[in-house]
């Protein structure tokens, strides 16, 4: 039996001083960050009135609510819920499409390769950022003040909040486009509009279509909740049933939302592949 050679620790230490003797600041950095994070966490628990007794009673209450939810049962309101779900899908589809239509011209203004001047680009970008900084629910409240309660306010809320997101995403897609096509069109004597129409849009549209489809899907989720503040759709029913503690109906509505989102997910991913890839160019 041969024995492994004993490592010469002293020599190794001398050779790799950086590994064996790290400066105290580097050694303490990670523990310091962890301690600080935990300290803020603990402060948060105290400041936000967390108490074990509240947690336990809440949990038992929650368990009780869950028991009440089984089995999911729509009662006699199933047709009403289907209609509400249709309303939600309509809100998502219409809001996203309108947002994309309005965002496309604005995103050209925010793209570096179209508008080289910072003077225009900067305010446009900050404008889009501010729109995005406000949650969809807040926009829904604002629009309810303008057009009244109902799904129309929901459409407008989704439209505005997505406008901010699309403006940013589209301009990024445009900035990533290849210059060569555009230069080719300029060389053949096309003007700026021709460059955008024949050089840029061809490259950008499939990317944009993919993003729009993805947003329709994620907006189905947002559209389910804007009803909570009164902007129509299935969220309105959900909030109402939670308020009157009809738990079986609540669980049925949640189930409906889950199935609808899964279905939209499936369809839109199929469509996305049809548009942006895995298809031979005709």
Partner 1 sequence: MATAISILPAQQLATLNDAYRKAVARKRLKVTVAAAVFCAALFIAALGADVNLHTFFTYFGNFVSYFDRILTLDSGARVWTDPVEWFWGLKKWLRLLGETLLISYVGTLTGAVFAFALNFFAAQNTSPGPWVRFTVRRLLEFARTVPGIVFALIFVIAFGLGPMAGVLAIAIHTTGALGKLFAEIVENADMKPVEGIRSTGASWLSCMRFGILPQVSAGYASYALLRFEINVREASVMGFVGAGGIGQELVVAIRKFYYSDVSAILVTIIVTVFIIDISTGWLRGRLFGKETRR
In the complex, least distance from residue 266 CB atom to partner 1, rounded to whole angstroms:
13
Binder among 119, 146, 187, 280 for partner 1 (CB under 8 A): 146
How many Cα atoms within 13 Å fall on the side-chain side of residue 255?
13
Nearer Cβ to partner 1 (192/262): 262
151 binds partner 1 (CB under 8 A): yes
245 binds partner 1 (CB under 8 A): yes
29 binds partner 1 (CB under 8 A): no
In the complex, least distance from residue 94 CB atom to partner 1, rounded to whole angstroms:
5
Q: Which residues of 212-244 are buried (b: 16+ CB within 10 A; e: fewer)?
A: bbbbbbbbbebbbbbbbbbbbbbbbbbbebeee
257 binds partner 1 (CB under 8 A): yes
How many Cα atoms within 13 Å fall on the side-chain side of residue 203?
16
133 binds partner 1 (CB under 8 A): yes
Q: What are phi and psi of 265, to 5 degrees?
A: -50, -50
What is the C-alpha separation between 171 and 127, in angstroms, rounded?
Answer: 14
Q: Which residues bind partner 1 (CB under 8 A)?
A: 37, 40-41, 43-45, 47-50, 54-55, 58-59, 61-62, 65, 86-87, 89-91, 93-94, 97, 129-130, 133-135, 137-138, 141-143, 145-148, 150-152, 154-155, 221-222, 224-225, 228-229, 232, 235, 238-239, 242, 245, 250, 254, 257-258, 261-262, 282
């Amino acid at each position: 039996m041969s024995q492994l050679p004993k490592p010469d620790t002293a020599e190794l230490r001398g050779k790799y001083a950086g590994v064996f003797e790290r400066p105290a600041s580097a050694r303490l950095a990670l523990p310091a960050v962890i301690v600080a994070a935990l300290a803020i966490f603990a402060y948060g628990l105290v400041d936000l009135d967390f108490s074990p007794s509240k947690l336990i009673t809440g949990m038992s209450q929650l368990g009780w609510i869950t028991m009440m939810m089984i089995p999911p049962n729509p009662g006699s309101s199933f047709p009403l819920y289907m209609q509400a779900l249709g309303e939600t899908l309509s809100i998502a589809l219409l809001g996203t499409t309108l947002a994309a239509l309005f965002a496309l011209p604005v995103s050209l203004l925010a793209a570096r390769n179209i508008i080289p001047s910072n003077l225009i680009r900067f305010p446009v970008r900050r404008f889009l950022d501010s729109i995005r900084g406000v949650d969809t629910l807040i926009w829904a409240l604002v629009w309810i003040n303008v057009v009244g309660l109902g799904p129309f306010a929901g459409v407008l809320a989704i439209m505005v909040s997505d406008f901010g997101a699309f403006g940013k995403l589209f301009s990024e897609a445009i900035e990533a486009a290849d210059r060569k096509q555009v230069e080719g069109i300029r060389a053949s004597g096309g003007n700026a509009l021709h460059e955008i129409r024949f050089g840029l849009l061809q490259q950008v549209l499939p990317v944009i279509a993919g993003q729009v489809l993805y947003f329709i899907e994620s907006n189905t989720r947002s559209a389910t909740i804007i009803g909570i503040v009164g902007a129509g759709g299935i969220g309105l029913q959900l909030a109402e049933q939670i308020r009157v503690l009809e738990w079986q109906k609540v669980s049925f509505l949640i189930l409906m939302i889950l199935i609808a989102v899964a279905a939209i997910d499936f369809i839109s991913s199929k469509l996305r592949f049809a548009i942006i890839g895995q298809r031979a160019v005709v």
